[in-house]
């Protein structure tokens, strides 16, 4: 495990989007635990975005990284999506896929799996097109800033989704709690937060780079979400079993919360 916190600038210097995608999102048989981890998260996202109240026009993905899996169920229920991430190379890698450029990562196996969850595996090409059309912009953000997209201000969205970002971006629990307040300003009062967070993880590694992670318990995440002005509507912890030393997480928390209507 890294002795020090790996800050956003370390992500900018060292996070290799391609290696990350190959390591965690290739659904290849040689990475058995990563396949289980991804499929479990896809099922959770499918379940959370199937909730009747998680609907609207606009969705913001906070800390999108180079990935799209977190938007596959979401894009059926929102019209316009904005994706945010700190690092240039991750936003670039995402744009590559959105523009269907040569050399973009192949998400087809993942898209097919989500279509299967939704009842029709044959719709994968249609879904890819739908998502490509709905993601309108990919912008820089820093979740540790009071206005994460500053100096620009985005109109608050009906929903925000954030997967596997805050626990990596925050050095301690107070920073995690303030990051939730920061990203909370991106969602309208009465709107929703959909989150997937690893629990009890202190590091993850790929491509010979080690990234630090804030070790969180379920109750700490829920309390931070509530303190940021949200009411938790759904939460579910699932165990993870990792068989190699690329990470030490032992659970994943999926959570849906509603921003209090009176928040401002």
Q: Which two tokens stand for residue 248?
A: 């030490």
CB 48 within 8 A of CB 234: yes
In the complex, the smallest distance separating the C-beta of residue 150 from ligand SAH, rounded to whole angstroms, is 12
Binding of residue 107 to ligand SAH (CB under 6 A):
no
**Which residue number, 45 or 257, has a Cβ lying nearer to ligand SAH?**
45
69 labeled part of a ligand binding site = yes
191: contact with ligand SAH by CB under 6 A: no
Site for ligand SAH in 12-31 (CB under 6 A): 15
Cβ at position 262, least distance to ligand SAH in Å: 27
Residue 168 found at the interface with ligand SAH (CB under 6 A) = yes
Site string for ligand SAH, 120-149 (x = CB under 6 A): ---------------------xxxx-----
Q: Does 8 bind ligand SAH (CB under 6 A)?
A: yes
Burial environment of residue 4 by CB neighbours within 10 A (0 to 12, 13 to 18, 19 or more): exposed
Toward ligand SAH, which CB reaches closer, 71 or 115?
Answer: 71
Q: Would you list which residues are annotated within the binding site for S-adenosyl-L-methionine?
A: 20, 25, 69, 85, 90, 142-143
Residues lying near ligand SAH in the complex (CB under 6 A): 8, 11, 15, 63-65, 67, 70, 85-87, 90, 141-144, 163-165, 168-169
């Amino acid at each position: 495990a890294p002795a020090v916190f790996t800050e956003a600038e370390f992500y900018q210097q060292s996070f290799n989007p391609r290696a990350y995608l190959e390591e965690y999102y290739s659904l290849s048989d040689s990475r058995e635990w990563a396949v289980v981890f991804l499929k479990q998260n896809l099922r959770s996202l499918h379940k959370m975005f199937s909730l009747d109240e998680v609907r609207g026009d606009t969705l913001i993905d906070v800390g999108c990284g180079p990935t799209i899996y977190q938007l596959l169920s979401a894009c059926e229920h929102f019209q316009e999506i904005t994706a945010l991430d700190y690092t240039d190379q991750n936003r670039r890698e995402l744009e590559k896929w959105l523009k269907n450029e040569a050399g973009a990562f192949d998400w087809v196996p993942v898209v097919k799996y989500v279509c299967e969850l939704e009842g029709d595996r044959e719709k994968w090409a249609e879904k890819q097109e739908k998502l490509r059309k709905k993601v309108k912009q990919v912008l820089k953000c820093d979740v540790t800033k009071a206005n994460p997209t500053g100096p620009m201000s985005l109109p608050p969205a009906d929903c925000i989704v954030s997967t596997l970002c805050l626990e990596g971006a925050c050095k301690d629990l107070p920073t995690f709690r303030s990051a939730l307040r920061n990203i909370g300003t991106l969602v309208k009062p009465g709107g929703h937060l959909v989150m997937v967070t690893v629990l009890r993880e202190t590091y993850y590694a790929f491509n010979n780079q080690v990234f630090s992670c804030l070790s969180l318990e379920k109750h700490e995440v829920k309390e931070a979400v509530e303190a940021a002005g949200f009411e938790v509507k759904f939460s579910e912890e699932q165990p993870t079993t990792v068989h190699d030393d690329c990470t030490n997480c032992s659970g994943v928390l999926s959570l849906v919360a509603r921003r209090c209507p009176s928040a401002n």
